[in-house]
A and B are shown apart, each in its own frame.
Chain A
């Protein structure tokens, strides 16, 4: 069975594109659109990789990241943060909170695939 990717993103067309892209590579992709319940979803699904949007309804990606990293069982979970907020401060905050990779929109499919492959091989 392919490894599981959880995509937490509230933009439906990005969800469709990434789901198609990663599924084609053999990964099993689940998506979730609500920031407030994202941590619960991670708990339930136990993904091998989390792709996390920065701006989400209910709770920000940064807060979700901080909450997950404070839980020992998710300390090593590869987390790829996708964001339209490419400013240095946002990147620094995410890195300080323990993000594995930070990618700014609009990203290319090649970049996404390379990052996912890289993180999955860790």
Chain B
């Protein structure tokens, strides 16, 4: 919010001068929903207070109806906030980002609390600082991805190995030629030929490596596709993990897969088909609109929701993960701990390569099929966002005598809003993957972190 004492006119000019460019009026409904939750009002209560139906407010809150004029002023007044707090979310985001930047820099709380004043007095500098902090976050994620890629991307690992091996041969051979004055002509000629071969190979390898890395420049660095699993992730991200045609039951999976330009390999199309078939099966059992309404009634309670819809808890977790307004992440793993499906949520890092942190709740349930685990977590070294995680495991195939069932575990990752933290439950500290986790003295650490050891 702005400094107290500014006039409304000054405030509007101020917003236009530094906040206007970032305004996202399309998200006004989401802000109303957030503010209503903070005020502790149910949807029906707010609707009644402002004189509209609950269903209409529901549409507004899900950004399906535009809002402005008198109704906006009435809602703002009822919620006790400035109308601009609902329409100009960017300002709040700026201040929130400044607070995170200050916290990350270990500034004292008194200084952190002056973020709002700072943004008011030096809007330009505040923008620069905020943008720089976001950029650092982006670069850290890129380092994370590239570091993992160097370890586990077969193509990159092979290129780097070839490069270093050739460099070793050149270095050794050149040193012999330079240091040994008594070398015979035969050996000298052999080494000259070797040097020629190796220098050509080094040039070719370097060129190929640069070409490979060039394709991953900029924002694409963290998104370059090289495996079927990555193709599938790119496909789901491009569709925002939402398939309305499947939800409505009027589009078949095969049609979506055949038109998916991200799915270029046979393996990726097969994986994508399997996941979408499960989405279709889930959608037939639990309609998203009905689920949303039920969440409004009973709250975020997967067990109660599963009971209400008479479906298994893992299915409810998957459907909750498909609710756009929940902004939840979801991961599915098999008995080996390999992630089969991942949907990220802001502030919770899910590594694209390598083994994830063994402290994740999803691994706690693999040996206890049917047990539903609920744990609050925060990821080390990232934002202070806390997440409520719900995890459950279930057998994937029909049970057979004398054979352990193949298990699959599902974990829903729900970002907590400030109002949700009122219960003061302590969050367990977890990581993303050891290589980029800064948590000191972690009993689960498998390898040193590049954040502490350096490159």
Question: Contact residues of A with B, CB < 8 Å?
Answer: 11, 13-14, 16-18, 20-21, 24, 55, 82, 84-85, 87-89, 92, 104-109, 112
For chain B, residues 179 to 215, give those with C-beta under 8 angstroms from any C-beta of chain A: 179-180, 187, 190-191, 194, 197-198
State A112–B173 Cα separation when bound (angstroms).
Answer: 13
Residues of A within 8 A of B170 (CB): 106
Question: Which interface class (under 10, 10 to 19, 20 to 34, 35 or more) fits B?
Answer: 20 to 34
> Which of B168, B180, B191 contacts A14, CB < 8 Å?
B168
State A89–B179 Cα separation when bound (angstroms).
Answer: 35
State A76–B197 Cα separation when bound (angstroms).
Answer: 38
**At the interface, yes or no: B176 with Cβ under 8 Å from chain A?**
yes
Q: Are B161 and A85 in contact (CB under 8 A)?
A: yes
Q: Are B187 and A20 in contact (CB under 8 A)?
A: yes
CB distance from B419 to the nearest CB of A (A): 43
With A13-B173, A88-B447 already in contact, the answer to whether A105 and B168 are too (CB < 8 A) is yes
State A109–B171 Cα separation when bound (angstroms).
Answer: 8
State A14–B194 Cα separation when bound (angstroms).
Answer: 9
Q: Are A106 and B187 in contact (CB under 8 A)?
A: no
With A21-B176, A84-B160 already in contact, the answer to whether A107 and B168 are too (CB < 8 A) is yes
Residues of A within 8 A of B453 (CB): 88
Residues of A within 8 A of B163 (CB): 84
With A13-B194, A16-B194 already in contact, the answer to whether A105 and B165 are too (CB < 8 A) is yes
Q: Are A17 and B164 in contact (CB under 8 A)?
A: no
A11, A13, A55 pick with most chain B CB within 10 angstroms: A13
Number of residue pairs across A and B with beta carbons under 8 Å? 68
Q: Are A92 and B447 in contact (CB under 8 A)?
A: yes
Residues of A within 8 A of B198 (CB): 13
Listed A/B pairs (28) with beta-carbon separation below 8 Å: A11-B165, A11-B169, A13-B169, A13-B194, A14-B168, A16-B173, A17-B172, A17-B173, A17-B176, A20-B187, A21-B172, A84-B160, A84-B168, A87-B151, A105-B164, A105-B168, A106-B164, A106-B167, A106-B168, A106-B170, A106-B172, A107-B168, A107-B172, A108-B171, A109-B171, A109-B172, A109-B179, A112-B172
Residues of B within 8 A of A87 (CB): 151
State A84–B163 Cα separation when bound (angstroms).
Answer: 9
State A112–B175 Cα separation when bound (angstroms).
Answer: 12
Q: Are B187 and A14 in contact (CB under 8 A)?
A: no
- Where chain A touches its partner, the secondary structure class is helix
With A55-B161, A105-B167, A106-B167 already in contact, the answer to whether A14 and B172 are too (CB < 8 A) is yes
With A16-B194, A55-B161, A109-B179 already in contact, the answer to whether A89 and B447 are too (CB < 8 A) is yes
What residue in chain B is nearest A103 (Cβ atoms)?
Answer: B168
With A87-B151, A109-B175, A109-B176 already in contact, the answer to whether A17 and B169 are too (CB < 8 A) is yes
State A6–B118 Cα separation when bound (angstroms).
Answer: 68
Q: Are B169 and A14 in contact (CB under 8 A)?
A: yes
**At the interface, yes or no: B448 with Cβ under 8 Å from chain A?**
yes
A88, A92, A106 pick with most chain B CB within 10 angstroms: A106
State A54–B5 Cα separation when bound (angstroms).
Answer: 69
Residues of A within 8 A of B190 (CB): 16
Residues of B within 8 A of A17 (CB): 169, 172-173, 176, 191, 194
State A89–B448 Cα separation when bound (angstroms).
Answer: 8
State A90–B69 Cα separation when bound (angstroms).
Answer: 64
Residues of B within 8 A of A84 (CB): 160-161, 163-165, 168
Q: Are B176 and A14 in contact (CB under 8 A)?
A: no
For chain B, residues 122 to 171, give those with C-beta under 8 angstroms from any C-beta of chain A: 151, 160-161, 163-165, 167-171
CB distance from B171 to the nearest CB of A (A): 5
Residues of B within 8 A of A21 (CB): 172, 176
With A14-B168, A108-B175 already in contact, the answer to whether A88 and B448 are too (CB < 8 A) is yes
State A84–B164 Cα separation when bound (angstroms).
Answer: 6
CB distance from B306 to the nearest CB of A (A): 41
Not counting A14-B169, A106-B172, a sample of 19 additional A-B residue pairs whose C-beta atoms are within 8 angstroms of each other reads: A11-B168, A13-B194, A13-B197, A14-B165, A16-B173, A16-B194, A17-B172, A17-B191, A21-B176, A87-B151, A92-B447, A105-B167, A105-B168, A106-B164, A106-B168, A106-B171, A107-B168, A108-B172, A109-B175
CB distance from B82 to the nearest CB of A (A): 53
Q: Are B180 and A24 in contact (CB under 8 A)?
A: yes
What residue in chain B is nearest A84 (Cβ atoms)?
Answer: B164
State A107–B160 Cα separation when bound (angstroms).
Answer: 15
State A89–B446 Cα separation when bound (angstroms).
Answer: 9
Q: Are B176 and A20 in contact (CB under 8 A)?
A: yes
